[in-house]
Structure 1
Amino acid sequence: MIDTGTFWLVTILLGVLTWLIRFSFLGLLGGRELPDWLLVHLRYVGVGVLPAMVVPMVLWPAATGGAADPMRIFAAAAALYAGWRFGVIAALAAGMMTLWLLQALTG
């Protein structure tokens, strides 16, 4: 374990750095109009980040020790289809219900 002084130093530094990162966008750019070329690129940030967060949890879930689980892959496919066809809330519901149903059926 680390000593108390080091812990608080790291905690305060991380808090300050996190604040500076957020301030760089909100404080410095918050009142300005962003250029059109930047707005076009920012539109795709969520599309790029969300799959990068979800795919490892589907293909290598911690609940199975990192082994691929066909039930999670099938539930993700159901959520993807429901999201494409009906929207975000339907994707959440379809993914959860599919996973819970498959887990209940297979024990």
Structure 2
Amino acid sequence: MNQIDDTTIWIIIVGMAFGSFGLRFVFLGFVGDRPMPAWLLRHLRYTAVAILPALIAPLVVWPAATNGEADIPRMSAAAVALVVGLITKNVLAAIGSGAITLYGLLYLLG
């Protein structure tokens, strides 16, 4: 097994810290005291909506629990959460219904 030496790990950690700080500083340091254009604010509204699907999609399509094979409980839970979210426009209801569907089908199907 290849091991990465400590120097390389620390260079990556420090580089990511500077990159993360720089990205945040662009918005907070340079733009923080000025009003943002309406078109930018309109696009930033969709950031939070895009994060949850981006985090969940890999877990549904390539679940580690099944060694990357798609299965009925996870696909069904994703479909139920999507439908409940579209109908109710409630994030908590979508998450709750998806979780109940997932654990219910895992219990029923083994």
Shorter-chain TM band: 0.7 to 0.9
**TM-score when scaled to structure 1?**
0.82
- CA separation in 2, counterparts of 1:62 and 1:30? 40
Structure 1 portions without partners, runs of 5+: none
Q: State the Cα distance separating 1:22 from its structure 2 match.
A: 1.0
Q: Find the counterpart in structure 2 of residue 99 from structure 1.
A: 102
Corresponding pairs, count: 107
**TM-score when scaled to structure 2?**
0.80
Q: 1:91 to 1:15 in 2, by over 3 A?
A: same
Match of 1:51 among 46, 49, 53: 53
Consecutive aligned runs of 4 or more in structure 1 exceeding 6 Å deviation: none
Instruction: Report Cα offsets for 1:39-92 as digits up to 9, x if no partner.
Output: 222233344454333222212212111111111110111111222223111111
Write out aligned runs for 1:12-51 (5 A).
Answer: 12-51=14-53
- CA separation in 1, counterparts of 2:17 and 2:87? 41
* Percent identical: 46
